[in-house]
A and B are shown apart, each in its own frame.
Chain A
Amino acid sequence: MGGQTALNLAVSLADSGALDRLGVRLIGASLPAIRAAEDRQLFKQAMDRIGLKTPPSGIGTTLEECISIAEDIGEFPLIVRPAFTLGGTGGGIAYNRAEFEDICRAGLAASHTQQVLVEKSLLGWKEYELEVMRDMADNVVIICSIENIDPMGVHTGDSITVAPAQTLTDKEYQRLRDYSVAIIREIGVECGGSNVQFAVNPADGEVMVIEMNPRVSRSSALASKATGFPIAKMAAKLSVGYTLDQIPNDITKKTPASFEPSIDYVVTKIPRFAFEKFPGSEPVLTTQMKSVGEAMALGRTFQESFQKAVRSLETGFAGWGCAPIKELDWDWEKLKYSLRVPNPDRIHAIYAAFKKGMRIQDIHEISFIDKWFLTELKELVDVEQFLISRGLDQLSKDDFYQVKRRGFSDTQIAFATSSSETDVRLRRLALEVAPTYKRVDTCAAEFEANTPYMYSSYEYECESVPTNKKKVLILGGGPNRIGQGIEFDYCCCHASFALREAGYETIMMNSNPETVSTDYDTSDRLYFEPLTVEDVTNVIDLERPDGIIVQFGGQTPLKLALPIQQYLEDKKLAGIHSGDSGCSLPTRTVSAKCLDIIRSWTTKLAKRLNVCGLMNCQYAITTSGEVFLLEANPRASRTVPFVSKAIGHPLAKYASLVMSGVTLPELGYTQEVVPKHVSVKEAVLPFEKFQGCDILLGPEMRSTGEVMGIDYEFSGAFAKAQIAAGQKLPLNGTVFLSLNDLTKRHLAEIGRGFRELGFNIIATSGTAKVLQLEGIPVEPVLKIHEGRPNARDMLKNGQIQVMVITSSGDALDSKDGLQLRRLALAYKVPIITTVDGARATIDAIKSLKNKSIETLALQDYFQTTDASQNLQAAQSAS
């Protein structure tokens, strides 16, 4: 269930003998199955055995082997896929020899088994995915078929995908189905979910198997939301021995889960990217996944779901087209490049190309995108032209229906008819054109289903059937992006749980398939819809909730609550963005005096702002102990889940109850909690996926996730957080030190620290001189530009185990330093870029050397505080 991380961990545990020693059995995917699917060589052999084709390829474990395979295949481009990696990390497409060697090196380093697959490129082939489930009785069902709009060459996580598959005849679909069933059996996933990816030649239907994931994947999450079949939940039941026919279909309740969902709508998923946060990396999509989130939308047709998905992305587009997009000003060369080379804005280039008169056939030949999708998109441009030619009051009711059925938002219609969104809405409602809501029921209406999982469409019959209960609408966080991840979803879910228990009907609205909030059983009712003013207003008009909670979904819903918004934009951040910095609770270095000031200011601020619920404040403290308020947000922040877990109180639940009128004394929560243990949060950064960008942190947030470590000592908590974040702290070896002038005064302390731990020190000339003056043994090494052998050579030769580099930020550093930092990343050598970080690392290594890591359950840390009692008290109070 835990994806690639869990799978790799399982392999390591088995290899180390821990599973055998403790008598622990792997259920679901067995070790041989994991190996057969993840080991590129074994997988190819397995496919050969069952007579399925894979692209011409070979497995290399050294660069030399890779080159010889490339020579055998004989032509570029070539795809490089490392074994056992997450999201295709370390892989890519090589168009020439030099590029090929670079990618292979990174791939070999990234692979858990130092193994990469070098594969003939099937660029231009169509890509399909099937989600498969098998039970212990060998019953196999297909949950969902997915067709990628982006043809082969783009990681499926970065592709725009559509479910169900649209351009397969029954014979072709059944062939893929047969193959999927054969593959899950041959690989030996005895029960649970798997994902199989195929490439299909559009010219003759030839099928090749690309890969198989013997686990739930992001596609399974998507497939679950797309069909209403909860793959992970079912997989869990299957792994303890249930068979599919013994489990009821979770939505219909009456029919069994041993069936294949039929859907009577179209689902589109569009990934969300953050290339702007990684300067230096090219916004090009390859087999290595780079998206940070995704939005999904359901509509009765492809056009409707596609337009809804585009506006769900929250990237400034109210749909596809009907906007003054930048690509319209591009010349043909630039436009064609954007059509040819997959990139996050390719769909907008398609729009511009159509607007400028390019034909479907030409766009197809440049992009290889299937003509079926292109023709559907072209019709949207025709509709826009039609709208442009008419005034708003010339549109009939039928016209309105036809346009809305193609997914156009009021904003788009306003743009095309030169009117305002409000005018469009009023006119539309005057003509009685309002959305209907259809239900997701896994069976295309064949059986009755009472699960209120809904999406909008402009149809005849509305199935929503709102109730007259006391109800609250909770707006979710929309697609994950940097700075707004699942932390906010945590808050939305907890709000929903708390309010539901307090007697409210909870209604969730969100567009992110990766979340728990969009599970149909998290809230009483779910609207899988874009979070825009129009879509939210439509739901409010229909549901008439007693309250709307915008506080928990991060920026997305807050933007919808205009009046508060202006205040929020006032950002004066300095240094490293709080989302990227590690943090510790309780604080480690803040003086009691400063803490008192912060407490008093925060309380005053909350009262003055009249905040009810959560508020997040960020402070800075100067070296002289002066406190500055940086930012205050009257909403849930990304630290709420961390703090809740650190202090043992469900803050999001409390906040939602407070907002429904319960007081803090009623909750029994009036005292600041000072835990006995230390919790450390560390950011997880995606730099290895973005070739070319520097890894130095700055005021722009770039982390895509976070981890937490808990211990009774700070050093232990920090060490655990580092390990969880994937930093393998060495216990001995050589440390490379290079400190800038600003931080050189801390050099002796850091140097001694590492010496005491038994590390050898190497340093560049300036740093080495200071250390020698302090009497600390050091071996000098050349900077990259000074000649060879230099620090880069030592890094490549495995002579450096950890690096401390504080950047000078000058021109030389942005060249020399960047190279070194990127290289350290490629070779997975931990790199520390702040003095505080170096101190904490020394403490952590010391702690790891002195005692083994102690593992306690989170509950063990809270024997004295029982949070659930408070909550129960609160719920009975409300």
Chain B
Amino acid sequence: MAAPPATASAPSLRPSAASPRAAAARSVAVPSGPRTVVPRRDGGRFLGVRAAKAVSGVQSGTVVDDGVQRPWKLSDARLVLEDGSVWKAKSFGASGTQVGEVVFNTSLTGYQEILTDPSYAGQFVLMTNPHIGNTGVNPDDEESNRCFLAGLIIRNLSICTSNWRCTETLEEYLMKRNIMGIYDVDTRAITRRLREDGSLIGVLSTDQSRTDDELLEMAKNWKIVGVDLISGVTCDAPYEWSDKTDSEWEFKKGQSTESFHVVAYDFGIKHNILRRLTSYGCKITVVPANWPASEVLNLRPDGVFFSNGPGDPAAVPYAVKTVQEIIGKVPVFGICMGHQLIGQALGGKTFKMKFGHHGGNHPVCDLRSGRVDISAQNHNYAVDPESLPEGVKVTHINLNDNSCAGLQYPKMKLLSLQYHPESSPGPHDSDLAFGEFIEMMKNNRL
């Protein structure tokens, strides 16, 4: 791009993008008045230099005349949002141009788990915690075998790692997985926009040859609603799972005596769901999202689990059909996408929320006991409880907005939760939900 770097990360609002949203964005209170782009004094001699070693990439600056380097990198990336705002930033990880839906996550810990959570497929995750990368990355904290998200947006990339389990820096890790990241942007300002406007489509680019207009056009033409993202994240073929939560991290007291065979539908399943179910005594067969219900029922499992996954539940009618064919026949448990699919299978409606729930601190009330759990949440769609048939009980609500957070339908031997009892990242408060599923399977055997 021809434009020189403006302020460190102040977005230069394009005059041509005079949409109402852009106008609103421009009126954000800035004490010194609207910031303008000033020509760079040094005539463009400073070129962003990608570091030879990723570790020192953040620190490597550019060569200046007197030999003392800037201990920071210059801006070399842009985030263009569909509201017309352009955010200067510094890149790490992969380079290129990428389009996706920007969502924020308020978890203070667990960026690696978030990076590998398939539910984030197609999304840019903005972490509100300013310091990311402090503990690096390690092999035990992976939630799937890949990073499915479109990119990572953070305020500050750690210049070193500190953790006994760390094997790699975040930058190295993203580079290897070809995932784009940007840092040194006002993530709080973007979060406030996402909060006001709902989630926004954005384009992340390190490509200097593309104009802001082109990127904006890309953002405007990209759609996530109605897109089947699950087919891109599910497994190719069935497999068995037998890993428990590692003894070092196990927090549940007591050993399971009985064993249950559970078939788990992989709509983008997080490994920790599988680990928790195994810790509770399940032997699991994981099947792809499009696996026929009849074949699953032929295995005569004790229960069927419908996993979390990315995107719009309305975009995967085949999955809804599968759920319909299974519920009522064996005990079932659904989490997140699984919960929404169950909602649809029961004839209910799902809708896209304004900006979803993405964090590790949401209070959920179990209406049956009155107990409040602090929960990990990550969803943009929710089930409308009004649309559900009679007999379906709303068992949990999110106390922040009273949205439906859990369902129970005793007649169909069905349980589902909108949030993440498996945590990882997040609090373990709701782990007992897995125990409830076990109880349900146990009672079904009697």
A contact set with B: CB distance below 8 Å: 137-139, 141-142, 145, 164, 166-175, 177-178, 202-205, 243-245, 255-256, 258-266, 300-302, 370-372, 375-376, 379, 382-383, 385-386, 388-390, 396-399, 401-402, 405, 432-436, 438, 443-448, 458-465, 541-542
- Whether A256 pairs with B399 at a CB distance below 8 angstroms is yes
Interface of B, secondary structure class, is loop
Given contacts A372-B160, A379-B59, A398-B7, contact A461 B138 (CB under 8 A): no
Given contacts A169-B165, A177-B427, A444-B129, contact A402 B32 (CB under 8 A): no
Distance of A458 Cα from B113 Cα, bound (Å)? 30
- Whether B164 pairs with A174 at a CB distance below 8 angstroms is no
Nearest first, the 8 closest Cβ-Cβ pairs linking A and B are A170-B110, A461-B189, A389-B68, A372-B162, A401-B8, A170-B425, A444-B128, A460-B186
Total inter-chain residue pairs, C-beta < 8 Å: 235
Known: A145-B108, A169-B138, A302-B131. 5 other contacts (CB 8 A): A371-B162, A389-B68, A446-B104, A459-B188, A461-B30
Which single member of B10, B72, B109 contacts A168 (CB below 8 Å)? Answer: B109
- Whether B8 pairs with A405 at a CB distance below 8 angstroms is yes
A167: B residues at CB distance < 8 A: 134-135, 162-163
Distance of A18 Cα from B354 Cα, bound (Å)? 57
B129 CB → nearest A CB, Å: 6
Distance of A262 Cα from B359 Cα, bound (Å)? 9
Is B40 interfacial (CB-CB < 8 Å)?
yes
Distance of A401 Cα from B38 Cα, bound (Å)? 14
Distance of A255 Cα from B155 Cα, bound (Å)? 26
- Whether B371 pairs with A139 at a CB distance below 8 angstroms is yes
Is B70 interfacial (CB-CB < 8 Å)?
yes
- Whether A170 pairs with B69 at a CB distance below 8 angstroms is no
List CB contacts (< 8 Å) of B142-194 with chain A: 155-156, 158-165, 185-189, 191-192
- Whether A137 pairs with B371 at a CB distance below 8 angstroms is yes
Distance of A167 Cα from B132 Cα, bound (Å)? 10
A28 CB → nearest B CB, Å: 19
Interface centre among B69, B361, B399 (most CB of A within 10 A): B361
Distance of A396 Cα from B74 Cα, bound (Å)? 12
Distance of A166 Cα from B362 Cα, bound (Å)? 21
- 26 sample A-B contacts, Cβ–Cβ < 8 Å, listed by A number: A139-B372, A142-B374, A166-B131, A169-B165, A170-B141, A174-B251, A174-B423, A244-B363, A245-B372, A256-B363, A256-B399, A261-B361, A370-B162, A382-B59, A389-B68, A396-B41, A398-B74, A402-B72, A432-B32, A434-B32, A444-B128, A445-B195, A446-B191, A448-B195, A460-B185, A461-B186
- Whether A386 pairs with B159 at a CB distance below 8 angstroms is no
B29: A residues at CB distance < 8 A: 461-465
B130: A residues at CB distance < 8 A: 264-266, 300-301
B5: A residues at CB distance < 8 A: 398
- Whether A174 pairs with B41 at a CB distance below 8 angstroms is no
- Whether B399 pairs with A375 at a CB distance below 8 angstroms is no
- Whether A399 pairs with B70 at a CB distance below 8 angstroms is yes
Which single member of B195, B365, B399 contacts A446 (CB below 8 Å)? Answer: B195
B59: A residues at CB distance < 8 A: 379, 382
- Whether B31 pairs with A541 at a CB distance below 8 angstroms is yes
Is B9 interfacial (CB-CB < 8 Å)?
yes
Given contacts A175-B251, A436-B31, contact A170 B68 (CB under 8 A): no
Distance of A262 Cα from B188 Cα, bound (Å)? 12
A262 CB → nearest B CB, Å: 4
B187 CB → nearest A CB, Å: 7
Is B107 interfacial (CB-CB < 8 Å)?
yes
Distance of A401 Cα from B32 Cα, bound (Å)? 14
B contact set with A: CB distance below 8 Å: 5, 7-11, 28-32, 35, 38, 40-42, 59, 66-72, 74-75, 87, 104, 106-110, 112-113, 128-131, 134-135, 138, 140-141, 155-156, 158-165, 185-189, 191-192, 195, 249, 251, 359-363, 365, 370-372, 374, 399-400, 423-428
B176 CB → nearest A CB, Å: 19
- Whether B162 pairs with A173 at a CB distance below 8 angstroms is no
A259: B residues at CB distance < 8 A: 361-363, 374, 399-400
- Whether B31 pairs with A372 at a CB distance below 8 angstroms is no
Given contacts A261-B361, A265-B130, A444-B106, contact A397 B135 (CB under 8 A): no
A264: B residues at CB distance < 8 A: 106, 128-130, 155, 187-188, 191
B158: A residues at CB distance < 8 A: 372
- Whether B426 pairs with A170 at a CB distance below 8 angstroms is yes
- Whether B31 pairs with A462 at a CB distance below 8 angstroms is yes
- Whether B361 pairs with A459 at a CB distance below 8 angstroms is no
- Whether B249 pairs with A171 at a CB distance below 8 angstroms is yes
- Whether A460 pairs with B9 at a CB distance below 8 angstroms is yes
- Whether B8 pairs with A169 at a CB distance below 8 angstroms is no
Distance of A461 Cα from B196 Cα, bound (Å)? 14
User: In the complex, what residue of chain A is closest to B161 when comparing beta carbons?
Assistant: A372
A436: B residues at CB distance < 8 A: 30-31
B7: A residues at CB distance < 8 A: 397-398, 401, 432-433, 460
Distance of A399 Cα from B5 Cα, bound (Å)? 11
- Whether A371 pairs with B31 at a CB distance below 8 angstroms is no
Given contacts A167-B162, A205-B164, A462-B30, contact A402 B110 (CB under 8 A): no
- Whether B159 pairs with A174 at a CB distance below 8 angstroms is no
- Whether A258 pairs with B249 at a CB distance below 8 angstroms is no
Which single member of B108, B359, B400 contacts A164 (CB below 8 Å)? Answer: B108
A389: B residues at CB distance < 8 A: 66-68
B8: A residues at CB distance < 8 A: 398, 401-402, 405, 458
B155: A residues at CB distance < 8 A: 264, 300-301
A402: B residues at CB distance < 8 A: 8, 70, 72
A741 CB → nearest B CB, Å: 63
- Whether B428 pairs with A205 at a CB distance below 8 angstroms is no
B28: A residues at CB distance < 8 A: 461-462
A263: B residues at CB distance < 8 A: 108, 129
B428: A residues at CB distance < 8 A: 174, 177-178
Distance of A139 Cα from B430 Cα, bound (Å)? 12
B11 CB → nearest A CB, Å: 7
Distance of A444 Cα from B104 Cα, bound (Å)? 10
Which single member of B71, B164, B361 contacts A203 (CB below 8 Å)? Answer: B164
B206 CB → nearest A CB, Å: 18
Interface centre among A142, A173, A383, A541 (most CB of B within 10 A): A173
A31 CB → nearest B CB, Å: 27
